[in-house]
């Protein structure tokens, strides 16, 4: 994980408006959200693993699933996740969990971020600031 500085940190916006601005740019609300916090994720690459720009936010007025919720941005960061190719090392015949979890164990759930992606992440943060501050 590599944190990236941003002028967005600490600013407040309506979540609905942010979704309208960021989804067309390729951001999604990550699946790891709760009623009081969440993340906008931008997938940078998925070759041999995943490289994401993740922009955290927390609810400051209302819950994330309520109409008119206001959120505050946290510090954006780059997140890498390297997974193994092939079958899961821990899968076993007759293991019921294999029916539910079809994914391989991660090789490194917090893998290093190549320099090229750090530059891309910084450019994405700048683009994000431009879009949000001009709307």
Q: Which is more confident, 59 or 93?
A: 59
- What average pLDDT does range 43-52 have in this prediction? 83
CATH number at residue 81: 3.30.310.100
- What average pLDDT does range 80-88 have in this prediction? 63
Instruction: With 0.85 as the threshold, say if the pTM is over it.
Output: no
Provide the domain limits for residue 63: 2-133
pLDDT at 66: 87
Percent of residues in the chain assigned helix, strand, coil, to nearest 5: 25, 30, 45
For the chain, the domain total comes to 1
pLDDT at 118: 92
């Amino acid at each position: 994980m590599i944190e990236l500085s941003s002028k967005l940190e600490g600013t407040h916006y309506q979540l609905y408006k942010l979704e309208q601005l960021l989804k067309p740019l390729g951001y999604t609300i990550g699946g790891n959200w709760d009623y009081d916090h969440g993340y906008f994720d931008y997938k940078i690459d998925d070759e041999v693993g995943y490289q994401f720009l993740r922009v955290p936010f927390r609810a400051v007025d209302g819950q994330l699933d309520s109409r008119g919720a206001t959120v505050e941005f946290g510090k954006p960061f780059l997140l890498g996740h390297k997974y193994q190719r092939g079958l899961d090392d821990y899968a076993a015949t007759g293991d019921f969990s294999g029916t539910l979890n079809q994914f391989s164990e991660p090789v490194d759930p917090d893998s290093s971020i190549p320099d090229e992606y750090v530059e891309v992440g910084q450019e994405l943060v700048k683009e994000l600031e431009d879009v949000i501050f001009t709307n």
